[in-house]
Structure 1
Amino acid sequence: MSDTTPLARGPVAVATPVVRDGWELDARVATGPLTLSDESPLAKVHVRAPFDGASRAALGVGLGRTARGDLGTGDVLVVGSGPGEWLVLGAPGTASALRASIEQRLARTGEFTTVLDLTHGRALLRLTGPTAARVLAGVCAIDFSDAVTPDGAALRTSLAAVVTDVVRDDRSGVPSYLLHVERSSGQYLADALLDAGRGSGLEMTGFRGLG
């Protein structure tokens, strides 16, 4: 197989394509402080388990919060995305191994759980910059101030009329939000955010990953 042949594409249009880890990514590098990137190539594993049981302890985080860790596949971000629901994000190409690792870990709890790989069925955007909260306020009524939604907070709400998991995951002290939606809504949400952030200089940039 040629290493220039993409195996998968994210839902957001790519201006400058490059192939990495089997995905067609955007190689653009924004020069401004406020950026939006398509992070859909990240592995996305969805977990359902009892709300407050042994599985919660095994995953290391409760509702509305996030935690970094290593579940056997390298650095991952575990998100308490809903009552009895978790979203686990990992590096591109690790979804199968990540799912197997989570299943093995949760099997030891004795609880009934489901673990699904949603990588290709969901979109994931990252909005980063000092004024990112202002852009989100243009498409949502939630208070994204540091006091209400600090770094490490997670919630499910509506952005531009699209049900979205919003995960605050700051980068080097700069506010940053991961936005997890159905794949079919990815381009629409990206366009809505770019429109809301036009006055603030929001630019599309290339894939950034979890690191």
Structure 2
Amino acid sequence: MSEPTPLARGPVAVSPAVVRDGWEVDARIATGALTLSDESPLAKVHVRAPFDGAGRAALGVGFGRTARADLGTGEVLVVGSGPGEWLVLGAPNTAGALRASIEQRLAGTGEFTTVLDLTHGRALLRLQGAAAAAVLAGVCAIDFGDAVTPNGAALRTSLAGVVTDIVRDDRQGVPSYLLHVERSSGQYLADTLLDAGGPSGLEVTGFRGLA
């Protein structure tokens, strides 16, 4: 008798649950215009390299910005999350291949770099909808207007008292924000956003992925 395949679980409680790509994810499908989803199954690879060196050119994006790219494992989102820091998000179960691909890409730069798989140690939420900026503004002092934080912007700040990477990643013209935090803060942040977004009709929906 074969052993059952172990399931991976994100930090946010799901009910009802369904299995996708080996992960237990929320089975709900929201119908409203403002949604919150747990995107923790996405591969999360953290890169450190000199702020303005060859590694930056190899990754194709600078501090505070994002770009879609194919680094050898399919389309990924490359985020300039800090000075000399990048967060690369890819499809579920690709973290190992993505890490190896990035290491190979950076090997020829001659610079000291580190590439770490953070997939299971971090939480990733997506808040999406026309009212998403207003919800975030209720728990954060940042100006989320288009003039200050347009699509493709990335920043690190305190969101509801938690250090958070905030990435604006609009989908089909709809404002959408990826929120990357330590795994231990994932449930707290989800609960806080649901409370803040309740008056605006915020609903939980299932895992969406990068597409």
- Please tell me the TM-score bracket, short chain as reference: over 0.9
Q: Could you say which residue in structure 2 is the equivalent of 1:96?
A: 96
Provide the secondary structure at the position in 1 that maps to 2:145: coil
Query: Which string of whole-angstrom CA distances, capped at 9 and with x for unpartnered residues, describes residues 20-49 of structure 1?
Result: 111101111001000000000000000000
Does structure 1 residue 128 correspond to structure 2 residue 128?
A: yes
Q: Could you say which residue in structure 2 is the equivalent of 1:38?
A: 38
Q: CA deviation at 1:182?
A: 0.1
Aligned AA (1:18): V
Aligned AA (2:49): A
Q: Could you say which residue in structure 1 is the equivalent of 2:151?
A: 151
Query: Which string of whole-angstrom CA distances, capped at 9 and with x for unpartnered residues, describes residues 59-88 of structure 1?
Result: 000000000010000010000000000000
Q: Could you say which residue in structure 2 is the equivalent of 1:55?
A: 55
Aligned residues: 210
Deviates more, 1:116-125 or 1:12-21: 12-21
Provide the secondary structure at the position in 2 that maps to 1:197: helix
Unaligned residue ranges in structure 2 (runs of 5+): none
- d(CA) in 1 for partners of 2:121 and 2:88? 14
Aligned AA (2:128): T
Residues 111 and 193 of structure 1, relative CA distance in 2, 3 Å threshold: same
Q: CA deviation at 1:126?
A: 0.1
Aligned AA (2:32): G
- d(CA) in 2 for partners of 1:131 and 1:179? 16
Residues 109 and 24 of structure 1, relative CA distance in 2, 3 Å threshold: same
Does structure 1 residue 186 correspond to structure 2 residue 186?
A: yes
- d(CA) in 1 for partners of 2:3 and 2:93? 17
Provide the secondary structure at the position in 2 that maps to 1:187: helix
Deviates more, 1:139-148 or 1:12-21: 12-21
- d(CA) in 2 for partners of 1:114 and 1:55? 11
Residues 2 and 173 of structure 1, relative CA distance in 2, 3 Å threshold: farther
- d(CA) in 2 for partners of 1:53 and 1:67? 18
Provide the secondary structure at the position in 1 that maps to 2:147: coil
- d(CA) in 2 for partners of 1:68 and 1:6? 31
- d(CA) in 2 for partners of 1:147 and 1:203? 27
Q: Could you say which residue in structure 1 is the equivalent of 2:208?
A: 208
Q: Could you say which residue in structure 1 is the equivalent of 2:196?
A: 196
- d(CA) in 1 for partners of 2:31 and 2:166? 25
Query: Which string of whole-angstrom CA distances, capped at 9 and with x for unpartnered residues, describes residues 79-127 of structure 1?
Result: 0000000000000000000000000000011110000000000000000
Q: CA deviation at 1:16?
A: 1.6
Q: CA deviation at 1:6?
A: 4.7
> In the alignment, is the contact (CA less than 8 A) between 1:154 and 1:166 conserved in 2?
yes
Does structure 1 residue 170 correspond to structure 2 residue 177?
A: no
Q: Deviating runs (4+, > 2 A) in structure 1?
A: none
Query: Which string of whole-angstrom CA distances, capped at 9 and with x for unpartnered residues, describes residues 127-176 of structure 1?
Result: 00000000001100000000100000000001100000000000100000
